[in-house]
Amino acid sequence: MELSGLRITIIGAGIGGLSAALALRARGAEVRILEQAEAIREVGAGIQISPNGLRVIEALGLGDGFRSISVAGQAVSLRASGGAEVLRLDLTRLPADQSYRFVHRADLVDLLAARARAQGIRVRLLQKVREITPGAVPQIALCNGDATSADLVIGADGLHSVLRPTLNGRAEPFFTGQVAWRAVVPNTVGHPAEARVHMGPGRHMVSYPLRGGDMVNLVAVEERRGWVEESWSHRDDATNLRQAFAGFGGVVPGLLAAVETPGLWGLFRHPVAAQWHGPGVALLGDAAHPTLPFLAQGANMALEDAWVLSDALASAQTLDHGLANYQARRRDRVQKVITAANGNAWKYHLRNPLVRGVAHLGLGVVGRMAPGAMMRQFDWLYAHDVTA
């Protein structure tokens, strides 16, 4: 299918939307992005870009720029609450063509946005979409009363997507019984270039460096019975976070001492959308398949989506065939990733001291006896190359 001149409107200027815009523009499409915020910016903090996501960044021509704003991860270290290392996954054992990196989300968005502007992609701010009507010429109704259309509309508008319920009906997510704090603090503890998972009964905290190692990203998860709203904008008193992890040792107390006003949000589980596309419309990233943050794959899946969507359209005879092929190529993979992420939380939160001790001992033995095997279990995820 010839994409040259195809008018594409993308809803949302996050990582998925900007990446899709670049991939489609490279194939000749006329792309614009509608973003409801007053500026292109990304809430949140650090993210982990694994080799499968990095391949897309490199294919977009941004490899050198990305390496300059990110930290190369050397290991993933699972640690008991007291600070002792239980298992070490040596990321330097990855093949030479694979790299695992830590980056501030805002820095990656800035990199993508700068390239989008340089490629002539129009970004319109303060454009909150009220409704999208699929069709041969899909229609977009804005909250300010304006209306517009395109040949293809892509909903890259996240958890609360306007397009998703149009294609799938409304489905209420369910609370997982877990909440998460997030914060970025100065690296006053000499945190090395590795992701550390600090595990305790009913809770865990992930830490890794950002911005040349000067900062440390924190995501702390605690099991909790009740929560009101799924949102990225709640703030909490840092005292609550410090109290939740008061029994932890190692670098945890030093990191938490520097937290000022952490973000706090409830973790909800959403089903993968049954239908990712309709006449002239498609879903991408979290709008199609939100994932819990226990495998660090949310941004990576959005990057993969962006590349596959552009490739599926370019290799199809019609728009409908291309959209169907996009969903067929992506749905099973993201379902496998989400299932794996869902299964990770309980492993970090073992409450029974005996069970926890046996599990940690077993992990340590396997990690020391067969470190290569421990890394190969991730081949299905990291070795996957959607750009091949």
pLDDT tens, 286-344?
Answer: 999 999 888 999 999 999 999 999 999 999 999 999 999 999 999 999 999 999 998 77
Q: How large is the average pLDDT for residues 185-205? A: 95
DSSP for 113-137, written as a single string = HHHHHHTT-EEE-S--EEEEE-SSS
- Strands (DSSP E) found in the chain: 7-11, 30-34, 46-49, 71-72, 75-80, 85-90, 101-104, 122-124, 129-133, 139-142, 147-149, 152-155, 174-186, 194-200, 203-210, 215-223, 263-269, 277-278, 281-283
The reported pLDDT for the residue numbered 212 is 96
- Residue 269 CA to residue 211 CA, distance in Å, equals 31
- Cβ atoms of 208 and 244 within 8 Å: the answer is no
Tell me the average pLDDT across 42-47: 77
pLDDT of 366? 42
DSSP state of 184: E
Band (38; pLDDT cuts 50, 70, 90):
confident
Q: What is the DSSP letter of 271?
A: P
pLDDT of amino acid 352: 40
User: Does the pLDDT of residue 181 top 50, yes or no?
Assistant: yes
Q: Supply the pTM of this predicted model.
A: 0.92
DSSP state of 341: H
pLDDT, tens digit (0-9, with 9 covering 90-100), for 237-287: 999 999 999 999 999 999 999 999 999 988 888 899 999 999 999 999 999
Taking 90 as the threshold, does the pLDDT of residue 7 lie above it?
yes
Q: Known catalytic residues? A: 208
Model pLDDT, residue 361: 47
User: Residue 227: its pLDDT value, please?
Assistant: 67
For residue 371, pLDDT beyond 70: no
Tally of residues, the chain: 388
* Amino acid letter, 351: R
Sequence-ordered list of residues with C-beta below 8 angstroms from that of 109, at least 6 positions apart, any chain: 13, 14, 15, 18, 40, 41, 42
Check residues 72 and 346 and name the one with the higher pLDDT. 72
Among the listed residues 28, 23, 21, 25, the one whose alpha carbon sits nearest the alpha carbon of residue 2? 28
- When pLDDT is cut at 50, 70 and 90, the band that residue 372 belongs to is low
CA 209 – CA 218 distance, rounded (Å):
9
**What is the structure's pLDDT at 349?**
57
Portion of the chain with pLDDT greater than 90, in percent: 74
d(CA 353, CA 115): 51
Whether 360 has a pLDDT exceeding 70, the answer reads: no
pLDDT tens digits, one per residue of 94-140: 888 889 999 999 999 999 999 999 999 999 999 999 999 999 999 99
pLDDT at 355: 41
Q: Which residues contact 136 (CB under 8 A, 6 or more apart)?
A: 279, 280
- Under 8 Å CB-to-CB from 346, ≥6 apart: which residues? none
Cβ pair 367, 76 in contact under 8 A: no
Nearest to 46 by CA among 108, 97, 99, 100: 108
Is residue 367 predicted with pLDDT exceeding 90?
no
The pLDDT value recorded for residue 354 is 39
Q: Is the dihedral of CA 335, 90, 50, 351 positive or negative?
A: positive
pLDDT bin (cut points 50, 70, 90) of residue 39 is: confident
Q: Which residues pair with 174 in a beta bridge?
A: 269
More confident residue, 171 or 156: 156
What is residue 383's predicted lDDT score, i.e. its pLDDT?
94
Strands 203-210 and 71-72, how do they pair? Answer: unpaired
Instruction: Return the bridge partners of 104, or none.
Output: 46
Res 143 pLDDT > 70: yes
Q: Between 365 and 260, name the one with better pLDDT.
A: 260
pLDDT score at 172:
81
- H/E stretch holding 112 reads helix 105-118
| 320 contact partners, CB below 8 Å, separation of at least 6 | 279
DSSP conformational letter for 235: B
Q: At residue 262, what is the residue type?
A: P
pLDDT of residue 93: 85
Mean pLDDT of the chain: 90
Task: Using pLDDT thresholds of 50, 70 and 90, give the confidence band for residue 147.
Answer: very high
Asked if 218 and 83 touch (Cβ cutoff 8 Å), the reply is no
- Highest-pLDDT range among 186-195, 335-344, 367-376: 186-195
